[in-house]
Chains A and B, each alone.
Chain A
Amino acid sequence: MHFALHTGSGVGTDSILAPLFESADRFAAAARNYLEGSQTRGPAAAAAARAFGDFLRVETMDLFRFPWSANPGPGGAGATAPPAMQDFPAFGPSREHQLRWQRSADAGRRLGDAQHRLQLLWSDALRDAAIAFAARLEPPDSSAATGAVPGVEALRGLYNVWIDCAEEAYAHIAHSNSFSSALADFMNASSAWRKESQANVELWAKALDLPTRSELNTLMRRVNSLEEQLRLKEARDPLRTDPATTAPPDPRARRPSHTRRGKRP
């Protein structure tokens, strides 16, 4: 079975679905090897099942990457101090900058460490899934014994078994304290890294006299406070008749389809 043969219309292998079909080709080849290897009983069959399971584990690890995964390498997450400055006591005219660099470097290291711990747990889940999958595989039927090529439905059945095993193994680890701790460490390290990055950006913005997030937040809080005071004043106004306040419509607001403006039923 060669999924790439189904292009038909001449859509090239660089289409957006091509990686998926290449993955399917690898899956079909690995499944074929497993079925051929499991025709004989005993250690050879067990080895074939293990190999198939390990293939699935490696293949699946690449599919899931956390979208927030940073790569705080050199020149990545914020300014990192030169290695010589990492642990050097901060003093002198550049003291504040050195502390800032050290904090950024620490945040980057924490993030990398947390990401690594989380990825190890993911790998453990996939390893457990592969073991469960290998144990769950049915002995080959007579069609395999005659060397017949497995059909799409047979391969799909194998795939669905893999998904079941993967979800069960993942759920077992995801519900554990170690996973929730690792995930929380990763989220908290990401937050700390972002905070240091924001501080670095604000420093440069101030140097160029550009508006900063801190300034805008201060202004926004003042506006919110004024709006709240106005609402309270309107609520206490004895001459006020409309119980529902209405803000002017936002001209930037999206207008869904199938709508019309109406005020009363």
Chain B
Amino acid sequence: MALADVYTRLAAAAEHCAPGCSPKELVWESGKLRLYRYLPTAPSSGAVPLLIVYALVNRPYMMDLQEDRSLIRGLLDAGLEIYLIDWGYPDGADRFTTLADYIDRLLAGCVDHVLAAHRLDALNMLGVCQGGVLSLCFSALHPGKVRNLITMVTPVDFHTPADLLSKWARKIDVAAWVGDGNVSGEVLNQLFLALMPFRLGHQKYIDLLLGSRDQAQVDNFMRVERWIFDSPDLAGSAFREFVTWFYQENRLARNRLEIAGRKVDLQNLQLPLLNLIGSKDHLVPRDASKALQRLVGSKDCTTLEFELGHIGMYISARAQREVPAAIVGWLAQR
């Protein structure tokens, strides 16, 4: 591809990098948190609303990247009512926000708002990656408020052999790293890239330069590129707790986790569970997610594996065809 052609296409693509494509309305906020309700695109299926709980790391618009790469749009087109939590961009004032604050106050506030708005006792919840961990904890602490729980690329057992991030984290003095501050999103990003540095740091750019002249592909590349490097800082206390309790001590899998003084016991999770796994996920290895099946008490636990990587689970063409349909079909039976 000629250099001038590259510049032209990249510059054109940069103008299309909006964070998310589906219209939504702000329905509740608390501090930096924003709770959005997506505007319907199809007649309602009558299902209980679905609250999407994204990770604290990275931004949630990956699930609504562009019109033909949007899991959220796939769910909306099936008639589901979708809410999304946007945790925002923590700053220095949020450094002492803990996991208990995120789970028991902020996530709980979102759930209470949705339940009050729809006059329901329980809603459906979809937790993505670390958001799945938060969702599992919330569901275990507030079992009556979640009707069906879906986890997507969610680590549960943090000490599986293929988990490189976990191996690296175990010997780090997290308290010293955090100090009394926040953790830089940029530093975390570099750690994630260091998991596959040659493919993620070099080869993908060579493929871009030598690849197709299709403007749509360049647009898609630039949107994903924006998302990858749009990394919020992480509230220090919550980060320290998450790395120590989950990555280092594996408390969730060992049934030793407490949030705000209350035990998080996955055996007490009796609600229907759908666990979506990417078998090629290098960030959350499949065994780390698959462990959920043996740890929960629910008799209705379904595991679906897709031959996709971590990001592919959100934006690949295959994910658009299969993941929303799997979620909608599973919910329809419950």
Contacts and interface: CB of A to CB of B under 8 A. Distances in A.
Answer yes or no: are A and B bound together in one complex.
yes
Interface of A: 6-9, 11, 15, 17, 20-21, 60, 63-64, 66-68, 152, 156, 159-160, 163, 166-167, 170-171, 174-175, 180-181, 183-184, 187-188, 190-192, 194-195, 198, 213-214, 216-217, 220-221, 224, 231, 243-247, 249-250, 253-254, 256-265
B241 to A, nearest CB: 15
Contacts of B20: 256-258
A265 B81 contact: yes
A265 B37 contact: yes
B29 A187 contact: no
A198 to B, nearest CB: 8
A160 B203 contact: yes
Contacts of B223: none
15 contacts: A6-B2, A60-B198, A163-B198, A163-B199, A166-B198, A167-B196, A184-B171, A187-B172, A188-B173, A217-B180, A244-B109, A253-B29, A253-B34, A260-B25, A262-B25
Contact of A11 (B4, B30, B37, B195): B4
A125 B55 CA distance: 32
Contact of B168 (A184, A231, A249): A184
A167 B26 contact: no
Given A163-B203, A180-B168, A247 B25 contact: no
Interface string B161-187: 000100110111100110111000011
A-B complex: 8 closest residue pairs judged by Cβ atoms: A9-B4, A184-B171, A262-B25, A191-B176, A166-B198, A244-B112, A258-B23, A244-B113
B85 to A, nearest CB: 13
B29 A17 contact: no
A108 B31 CA distance: 38
Contact of A245 (B5, B30, B61, B95): B30
B331 to A, nearest CB: 18
Given A63-B202, A156-B210, A265-B117, A191 B30 contact: no
Contact of A17 (B3, B116, B167, B194): B3
Contact of A64 (B32, B95, B197): B197
A123 to B, nearest CB: 14
B201 interface: yes
Interface in B105-141: 105, 109, 112-113, 116-118
A174 B195 CA distance: 8
Contacts of B167: 175, 180
A258 B168 contact: no
Given A244-B112, A258-B24, A262-B27, A195 B176 contact: yes
A245 B61 CA distance: 26
A21 B198 contact: no
Contacts of B109: 244-245
A101 B110 CA distance: 50
Nearest to B179: A195
Given A188-B172, A265-B37, 4 more contacts: A8-B3, A188-B176, A253-B32, A260-B26
A112 B209 CA distance: 37
Contacts of A188: 172-173, 176-177
Contacts of A187: 172-173, 177
Nearest to B205: A20
